Amino acid sequence: MSVLLTGAAGYVGSHACVELLNQGYSIVSADNYVNSSPVALERVRQITGRDFPAYETDLRDEEKLRAIFRAHKIESVIHFAGLKAVGESVKKPLEYYDNNLYGSIVLLKIMREFGVKSMIFSSSATVYGAATKMPLDEKMPLGCVNPYGWTKFAIEQLLRDLCLADPDFSAVLLRYFNPVGSHKSGLIGDNPSGIPNNLIPYVTRVAVGELERLPVFGNDYNTPDGTPLRDYIHVCDLARGHAAAMAYAAAHKGCEAINLGTGKASSVLDVIHTFERVNGVPIPHFIAPRRAGDADESWSSTEKAERLLGWKAEKGLDDMLRDAWRWQRQNPKGYHA
Ligand code: WQD
């Protein structure tokens, strides 16, 4: 019996592969490598000493996907695959709905053909939209502020409806806060192409000298130092959360949305100063205009994850930024050395 990981070569996906393999699971990878590299899967084999089949496929290719389910006894799916750049989604909504939502529909149809009734879905705190009451908890009303978020919302809703229609189906919707850091080996990590949208890869590229200085998008927010607060969570803690969700889904039917965050908030300046302190590398930065859509603060209630999954984040910001720097330093050009 195997677990199919879609988007397994991606940032969170590759870390989840390591965690699941180390816990003894058999896995199968399906990834179209449009936003990732098969080198990440080679690194996963190197870290774990375990091999696994990997298929290059787009989820919208029904026949290729069907062939994977024919070749392997898939018991559950962890669905990471999806486009995830908020700004890009505003410019290309049709591509985002086609890739993220339609790809998920094809996947779920093939799962139904083969009687697979368990999915862990890579969702995002972005479904809380412009919620201002902190900490964010799973009972809060949802509402998105960009097409990327709406695709995550739509796939969540599809899974909620599927579980209502089929009481044997099990879906866990994991709402990530801000994943950062890398496996301690420095062999896998966040590898965005082009100029990074997210804070930490931008910081590490400044540290490695690839980018000159970090734009701090506004320091006039309603926060202690004026820069936005976020709940940064170590990607290895996030990976452990997926394994805990797998165990939960094996024992429970129905649909549950669960936050994966630390419950702690750090500002942009906190990140810069912590990075400089733990790594001894200066991060030149300047105050730039606000970025559209950025909220003052976003951090997680961790109560439900602790109660249902018996999981809580263990690593702090120091670990996240030390590990992020090790990955970047050892892989200045990411996977395409
Ligand atoms: C964090 C903070 C920026 C870059 C996004 C998605 C979310 C999830 C995580 C997928 C903000 C500031 C950033 C820079 C900066 N992705 N910043 N200069 O926006 O909280 O969340 O990524 O699931 O869905 O929305 O993360 O890392 O982009 O920004 O000042 O060059 O860093 O303004 O306050 P965000 P981020």
Residue 334 lies in a domain: no
- Domain-embedded: residue 126: yes
Q: What are the angstrom distances between the C-alpha of 328 and each of 189, 273, 337?
A: 8, 18, 12
Asked if residue 89 lies in contact with residue 146, where contact means CB atoms within 8 angstroms, the answer is yes
On whether the CB atoms of residues 26 and 51 are closer than 8 A, the answer is no
Sequence-distant (≥ 6) Cβ neighbours of residue 150 within 8 angstroms: 97, 144
- Evaluate whether residue 25 is within a structural domain: yes
d(CA 147, CA 307): 31
Element (H, E) at 79: strand 74-79
- Which member of 11, 55, 96, 148 is catalytic? 148
**CA 171 – CA 216 distance, rounded (Å):** 38
Write the pLDDT tens digit of every residue in 112-163.
999 999 999 999 999 999 888 999 999 999 999 999 999 999 999 999 999 9
Percent of the chain with pLDDT over 70: 100
Tell whether pTM > 0.95. Answer: yes
User: Does 161 map to a domain?
Assistant: yes
Q: Is residue 149 part of a domain?
A: yes
Residue 157 beta carbon below 6 angstroms from any ligand 1 atom: no
**Residue 52 domain-assigned?**
yes
In this model, does residue 102 exceed pLDDT 70?
yes
Domain assignment present for 111: yes
User: Does 223 contact ligand 1 (Cβ within 6 A)?
Assistant: no
Our count of domains for the chain comes to: 1
Least confident of 84-93, 176-185, 268-277: 84-93
Q: What is the pLDDT of residue 337?
A: 64
141, part of any domain: yes
Q: If you write DSSP's letter for every residue of 107-152 in order, what string do you get?
A: HHHHHHHTT--EEEEEEEGGGGTT--SSSB-TTSPP--SSHHHHHH
Residue 52 CA to ligand 1 centre (angstroms) = 33
pLDDT of 26 reads 98
- Residues 45, 75: Cα–Cα separation, whole Å: 22
- Find the domain containing 137 and state its range: 2-181+232-262+301-313
**From atom 32 of ligand 1, which residue's Cα is the shortest distance away?**
199
Q: What are phi and psi of 295, to 5 degrees?
A: -95, 160
How far is C-alpha 88 from the geometric centre of its chain's CA atoms?
A: 17
> Which protein residue's CA is at the shortest distance from atom 9 of ligand 1?
178
Q: Under DSSP, is residue 325 helix (H, G, I), strand (E, B) or coil?
A: helix
> Which DSSP letter does residue 300 get?
B
CATH at 240? 3.40.50.720
Catalytic residue check, 248: no
